[in-house]
């Protein structure tokens, strides 16, 4: 084996090791330019979870999902709403005639709704993995903001929702979001406060940080 081949093998090994150690530890933050969003801050990790269902990985997946929803990018959504898709729903509770509810039990119907709306205006700000269902997947709860065009309260509404994601595939099996009445503040905190910060996750959201956490340990 030549020296050149040995060097190439060494370089490949170093690159692979870097990819495998991509998951930050609890309490750490990492900027994720691939999602077009801010920093991801893990405030409680789960070392035993499958890689796709570690908190940081979950946050990256859901931010890519919200980016695809907002930009009406149907390509990634077809993969996300693949085999195992159960439902996608959105309920809006602004006052008056703006009240709206939609639910799709087939991926094709959900895709048509995204195309019809011309995208969404969702920004996820906190994600809590509430329960692991073995190798099948994980239940999540999230909150965030929904941008509106009337300038009310800075042009943002509150979003609360739940979902179920696969731990072995990219699929988001279920996703429900509720856009709350105008004037409500985003003041719900599902995750513990960052250990390295004096501010709460609620305050962190004002700086574009996405807070994410795993379920508390049973011991």
Kindly report the average pLDDT of the chain as a whole number: 77
Determine the Cα–Cα distance for residues 205 and 152; give it in Å rounded to an integer.
19
Asked if residue 86 lies in contact with residue 164, where contact means CB atoms within 8 angstroms, the answer is yes
Instruction: Report whether pLDDT(33) > 90.
Output: no
The pLDDT assigned to 198 comes to 42
- In the chain, where the domains are located: 34-213
Determine the Cα–Cα distance for residues 140 and 175; give it in Å rounded to an integer.
9
The pLDDT assigned to 203 comes to 47
Q: Where are the beta strands (DSSP E) in 105-181?
A: 122-132, 137-147, 156-166, 172-179
Average pLDDT over residues 20-43: 55
Choosing among 3.40.50.720, 3.10.450.50, 2.60.40.1240, 3.20.20.70, the CATH entry for 34-213 is 3.10.450.50
Determine the Cα–Cα distance for residues 115 and 105; give it in Å rounded to an integer.
16
Query: Residue 33's CB: how many other CB atoms inside 10 A?
Result: 7
Query: Residue 133's CB: how many other CB atoms inside 10 A?
Result: 12
Average pLDDT over residues 159-164: 94
Average pLDDT over residues 108-123: 92
The pLDDT assigned to 84 comes to 93
Average pLDDT over residues 186-203: 61
Instruction: Report whether pLDDT(16) > 60.
Output: no
The pLDDT assigned to 114 comes to 93
Confidence of residue 169 (pLDDT cuts 50, 70, 90): very high
The pLDDT assigned to 135 comes to 81
Q: What is the pTM of this model?
A: 0.76
Percent of the residues in the chain that have a pLDDT greater than 70, as a whole number: 66
Phi, psi of 81 (to 5 degrees): -100, 55
């Amino acid at each position: 084996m030549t020296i050149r081949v040995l060097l190439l093998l060494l370089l490949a090994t170093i690159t692979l090791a870097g990819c495998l150690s991509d998951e930050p530890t609890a309490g750490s933050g990492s900027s994720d330019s691939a999602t077009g969003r801010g920093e991801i801050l893990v405030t409680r990790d789960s070392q035993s979870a499958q890689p796709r269902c570690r908190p940081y990985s979950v946050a990256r997946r859901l931010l890519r999902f919200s980016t695809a929803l907002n930009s009406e990018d149907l390509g990634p959504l077809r993969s996300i709403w693949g085999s195992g898709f159960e439902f996608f729903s959105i309920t809006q509770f602004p006052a008056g005639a703006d009240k709206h509810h939609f639910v799709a039990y087939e991926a094709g119907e959900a895709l048509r709704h995204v195309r019809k709306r011309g995208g969404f205006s969702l920004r996820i700000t906190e994600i809590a993995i509430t329960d692991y269902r073995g190798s099948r997947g994980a239940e999540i709860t999230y909150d965030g903001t929904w941008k509106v065009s009337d300038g009310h309260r800075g042009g943002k509404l509150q979003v609360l929702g739940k979902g179920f994601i696969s731990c072995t595939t990219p699929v988001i099996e279920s996703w429900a979001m509720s856009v709350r009445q105008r004037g409500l503040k985003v003041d719900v905190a599902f995750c513990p406060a960052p250990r390295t910060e004096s501010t709460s996750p609620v305050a962190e959201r004002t700086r574009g940080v996405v807070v994410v956490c795993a379920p508390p340990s049973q011991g």
